[in-house]
């Protein structure tokens, strides 16, 4: 199902031999960068395919910014390779890097617009640096402002724009030189939730319309969930978990991933969680995570038929991520009969559900 090479496969096979590797906009091979004794990037191998949106998450200091800086040539790795559209860039001189940097657009948390320039001049700036004639620059700026829905602000100055409008200008500017890759560094972190949604919708739209490849780093899991195809978790300079968003969100393998996902994963209501005790009580509370094919069937009615009197649903439901059903169900199972609980758990696991005993409650829920 996952067509991408996983981080562990990539480490095992640093050549990433794959028939369609020409579709990789980014390919990192065993990248390392150390500052003094701190390994900021400690052997990262990763690919981003054409048209894909990859989200990178990790704790503060995990190495996300250093990774992005290695991609646009602002940081030189100590070892390893950085391929952008098949070309290795990490050892190029500044002069050779310039045209390659134009293949990469970037958007930032604080927009980085020039306050003394109009919106259209901000958007056209990358073309000015390229030495394009003014008429061409303005025509391209007009086209891009139309794309981001800001045509009427062409002559305005950044100070008169809202945060969301400023980021639209940032996006238009990032697209001016028709990049193959858009790097997004916390681009919605300074925006309110509604504006964030509209910026994410715009990015997804651009991704679809232009086939633009996007690599984004964010601490907002909602961003990953709503637009990324794939997510990679970085910890201490290494990719420790990676996969399609729906699959990682549904079944994170590592504690670090669970902790980063935090509240975006469904939780037991706090009043019920407060009643949980470790010792066996009248009822056992199970957390059941199920996703993809396993979440499509009538799981609970099948369970009720297979193990009569087996449970009550106390909380949860099925959500959708990337058109895949992802469900978390909290079940209360009558206690006092270990074989009954074992039958419920066995049934659910046979249906590819992940089952966790959260605890017990002394009185029925």
Ligand X SMILES: Nc1ncnc2c1ncn2[C@@H]1O[C@H](COP(=O)(O)OP(=O)(O)OP(=O)(O)O)[C@@H](O)[C@H]1O
CB of 73 to ligand X, least distance (A): 15
Task: Tell me the number of residues near ligand X by CB under 6 A.
Answer: 11
Please tell me whether residue 189 binds ligand X under the rule CB under 6 A.
no
Q: Give the chain's end-to-end CA distance (angstroms, integer).
A: 39
CB of 236 to ligand X, least distance (A): 9
Question: Rounded CA gap, 62 and 34, in Å?
Answer: 12
Among residues 66 and 165, whose Cβ is nearest to ligand X? Answer: 66
CB of 234 to ligand X, least distance (A): 7
CB of 37 to ligand X, least distance (A): 10
Question: Rounded CA gap, 269 and 276, in Å?
Answer: 11
Q: Which stretch binds ligand X (CB under 6 A): 33-41, 44-52, 105-113, 115-123?
A: 33-41
Among residues 8 and 38, whose Cβ is nearest to ligand X? Answer: 38
CB of 41 to ligand X, least distance (A): 8
Among residues 4 and 64, whose Cβ is nearest to ligand X? Answer: 64
Among residues 106 and 348, whose Cβ is nearest to ligand X? Answer: 106
CB of 219 to ligand X, least distance (A): 7
324-334 and 283-291 strand pairing: antiparallel
CB of 223 to ligand X, least distance (A): 14
Among 2, 12, 35, 146, the residue binding ligand X under the rule CB under 6 A is 35
Q: What is the H or E stretch that residue 160 is in?
A: none
State phi, psi for 298 to the nearest 5 degrees. -80, 70
Among residues 256 and 344, whose Cβ is nearest to ligand X? Answer: 256
Q: How far does CA 104 lie from the centroid of its chain?
A: 19
Among residues 58 and 244, whose Cβ is nearest to ligand X? Answer: 58
Question: Rounded CA gap, 209 and 267, in Å?
Answer: 36
Angle, CA 89 vertex, CA 86 and CA 93 arms, to 5°:
145
Question: Rounded CA gap, 201 and 181, in Å?
Answer: 18
Among residues 10 and 40, whose Cβ is nearest to ligand X? Answer: 40
Residues 268 and 101 sit within 8 Å (Cβ to Cβ): no
Structure tokens at 219: 């601490």
Window 112-151: contact mask with ligand X (x via CB under 6 A): ----------------------------------------
User: Mind giving me the DSSP string for 183-235?
Assistant: EEESTTTTS-HHHHHHHHHHHHHHHHHH--EEEEE-S-HHHHHHH-SEEEEEE
Q: Which stretch binds ligand X (CB under 6 A): 34-42, 164-172, 174-182, 285-293?
A: 34-42
CB of 92 to ligand X, least distance (A): 20
Length of the chain: 365
Among residues 63 and 359, whose Cβ is nearest to ligand X? Answer: 63
Of 39-78, which residues contact ligand X (CB under 6 A)?
Answer: 40, 58, 60-66
What's the sign of the alpha-carbon dihedral 205, 226, 71, 8?
negative
Task: Give the residue from 354, 301, 297, 292 showing the smallest Cα distance to 326.
Answer: 292
Distances (CA, A) of 300 to 257, 265, 318: 28, 20, 12
Among residues 35 and 293, whose Cβ is nearest to ligand X? Answer: 35
Structure tokens at 197: 């949604």
Among 3, 38, 112, 162, the residue binding ligand X under the rule CB under 6 A is 38
Interface residues with ligand X (CB under 6 A) are 35, 38, 40, 58, 60-66
């Amino acid at each position: 199902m996952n067509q991408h090479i996983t981080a562990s496969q990539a480490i095992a096979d640093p050549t990433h031999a794959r028939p369609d590797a020409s579709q990789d906009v980014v390919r990192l091979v065993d990248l390392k960068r150390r500052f003094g004794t701190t390994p900021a990037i400690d052997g990262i191998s990763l690919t981003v395919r054409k048209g894909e949106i990859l989200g990178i998450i990790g704790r503060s200091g995990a190495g996300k910014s250093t990774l992005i800086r290695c991609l646009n040539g602002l940081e030189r790795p100590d070892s390893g390779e950085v391929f952008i559209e098949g070309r290795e860039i990490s050892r190029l001189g500044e002069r050779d890097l310039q045209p390659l940097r134009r293949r990469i657009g970037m958007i930032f948390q604080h927009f980085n617009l020039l306050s003394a320039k109009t919106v259209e001049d901000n958007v056209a700036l990358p073309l000015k640096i390229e030495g394009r004639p003014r008429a061409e620059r303005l025509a391209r700026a007009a086209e891009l402002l139309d794309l981001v829905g800001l045509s009427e602000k062409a002559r305005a100055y950044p100070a008169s724009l809202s945060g969301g409008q400023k980021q639209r200008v940032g996006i238009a500017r990032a697209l001016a030189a028709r990049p193959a890759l858009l790097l997004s560094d916390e681009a919605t972190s300074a925006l309110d939730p509604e504006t964030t949604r509209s910026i994410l919708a715009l990015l997804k739209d651009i991704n679809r319309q232009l086939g633009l490849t996007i690599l984004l780093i964010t601490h907002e899991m909602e961003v990953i969930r709503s637009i990324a195809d794939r997510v990679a978790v970085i910890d201490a300079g290494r990719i420790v978990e990676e996969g399609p968003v729906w699959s990682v969100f549904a079944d994170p393998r590592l504690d670090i991933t669970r902790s980063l996902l935090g509240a975006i994963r469904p939780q037991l209501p706090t009043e019920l969680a407060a009643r949980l005790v470790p010792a066996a009580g009248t009822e056992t509370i199970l957390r059941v995570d199920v996703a993809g094919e396993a979440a499509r069937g009538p799981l609970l009615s099948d369970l009720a038929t297979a193990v009569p009197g087996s449970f009550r649903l106390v909380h949860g439901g099925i959500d959708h991520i990337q058109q895949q059903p992802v469900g978390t169900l909290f079940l209360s199972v009558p206690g006092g009969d270990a074989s009954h609980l074992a039958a419920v758990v066995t049934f659910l696991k046979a249906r590819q559900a992940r089952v966790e005993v959260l605890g017990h409650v002394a009185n029925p829920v």
